[in-house]
Structure 1
């Protein structure tokens, strides 16, 4: 049995119906989950415990980009006519704000972490438990400019250390000092969220 989740219940149920049309109706059930809302995580854990008694596999795939699109800049880039021109203006096409960065980390990293921690007791009851955390090529340490930052993220061996680095990143983002402090400046929050996810996965 697969428990399909989504924060938007309407869209989640629509997805469930489409999957049922494929002949999977006996193997699917929907439950609302917003990884940014701890109450819904607890509710999901209770549902799985009461309905199934255990959990075999958890797939963490909730995620957002941490930026919004400047459509005028994108249109201008397309009109210019070459791929090189488009690449040159990506920093203008994708707009990042502190609020978006905070939300990105809340969902991509903290949401996955909180969900995993809530469901680990049920996974431990399985004979073959698995946690699958969906990451990204942007989560590679090569996208971290500072060697000191790379080392800190690579060597972080507790959730608390990862959390401290994220808190520091958000502080520097808010102060406008990402570049001078050795953080990535393009898709910065998304990159850090995936690097942090990779680090957390290693210590699970």
Structure 2
């Protein structure tokens, strides 16, 4: 096991070769934290690290390690790397996520949905009943006139979305808990979305299960997700009160939010929260968001750097505590 410096802090950021993940690495390193930048694509990961070293001189503070959160051997390899190199982990940022429509990559595609999430309250009626095509620009990789009702979400796409956004984050977290427990100030930040708020799930059974933190278990979250997948397969999403647009994405984030509360309830010494960074300008939405990437990542970095005794088990919309 590596000889950890008692004063030095160590972090892992998943899905970090671009967007909010990359900016989070930059923010943590700027605060003197040693960060493992992870990405599925080895070449892109190394390029991101080289770019940070060249532009900001983080020569000793940022290292790369490959990570595919859906691959248990990849997760185990990263945990072993951190164990040998640092001996413990102080901060875990679960940022990797996919949309459930695009199966091409685990970049920070959920940024695209932050643009939508900021609009959710004012367009809830439209969101539930009408065409959302007006929200799209070509920058999203979608036709500007696209009709959500015509956009297929296959069973395989939904399964991959849940596997990445919920199970991937959960398994990465559980693999790191023993190393986080060696920290004096262990922090977990789950990058989530307002799309996962329970008010967008009309299925009363699912909502009550996910909202009952005291009685919640991973097995119960699994049951909710299995029921969702069964109803998707049977074409019963609308009838059973599940979201019908951005469906798997929303359910995956609702599961992640509930798991965050469960983990905080179970591990009182860990500080674990989830955050929606807001509508962020990135290359994915061709800079149509409201916030800069720096502003978006600032909310994530702020939670990662909370002092001892800070609140745990909360959902933050940017820097404000919000309801689940």
TM-score grouping bracket, smaller chain normalisation: 0.7 to 0.9
Mapped pair 1:86 → 2:134 = yes
**Structure (1/2) with the larger helix percentage:** 1
Change (3 A) 1:149 1:44: same
Verify the 8 A CA contact 1:138 1:194 in the aligned structure 2.
yes
How far the C-alpha of 1:180 sits from its partner, in A, is 1.4
How far the C-alpha of 1:85 sits from its partner, in A, is 6.1
Rounded Cα–Cα distance in structure 2 between residues aligned with 1:16 and 1:134 = 21
Q: In terms of mean alpha carbon deviation, does 122-131 or 160-169 score higher?
A: 160-169
Counterpart for residue 25 of structure 1: 59
**TM-score if structure 1 supplies the norm length?**
0.88
Change (3 A) 1:35 1:158: same
Where structure 1 has 5 or more consecutive residues not aligned to the other structure, the ranges are 70-82
Q: Which has the higher contact order (CA 8 A, sep 6+)?
A: 1
Verify the 8 A CA contact 1:68 1:95 in the aligned structure 2.
no
How far the C-alpha of 1:152 sits from its partner, in A, is 1.9
* Structure 1 stretches of 4+ moved >6 Å: none
Where structure 2 has 5 or more consecutive residues not aligned to the other structure, the ranges are 1-33, 104-130, 136-144, 264-324
Rounded Cα–Cα distance in structure 2 between residues aligned with 1:194 and 1:132 = 13
Cα-to-partner distance string for 1:143-196 (whole Å, 9 max, x where unaligned): 112333321221251111101111111111111111112211111100000000
Mapped pair 1:64 → 2:98 = yes
How far the C-alpha of 1:86 sits from its partner, in A, is 2.2
Change (3 A) 1:11 1:105: same
Rounded Cα–Cα distance in structure 2 between residues aligned with 1:95 and 1:68 = 11
Rounded Cα–Cα distance in structure 2 between residues aligned with 1:84 and 1:41 = 37
Choose the corresponding residue for 2:250, options 181, 191, 202: 191
Rounded Cα–Cα distance in structure 2 between residues aligned with 1:98 and 1:154 = 26
**TM-score if structure 2 supplies the norm length?**
0.56
Count of aligned pairs between the two proteins: 191
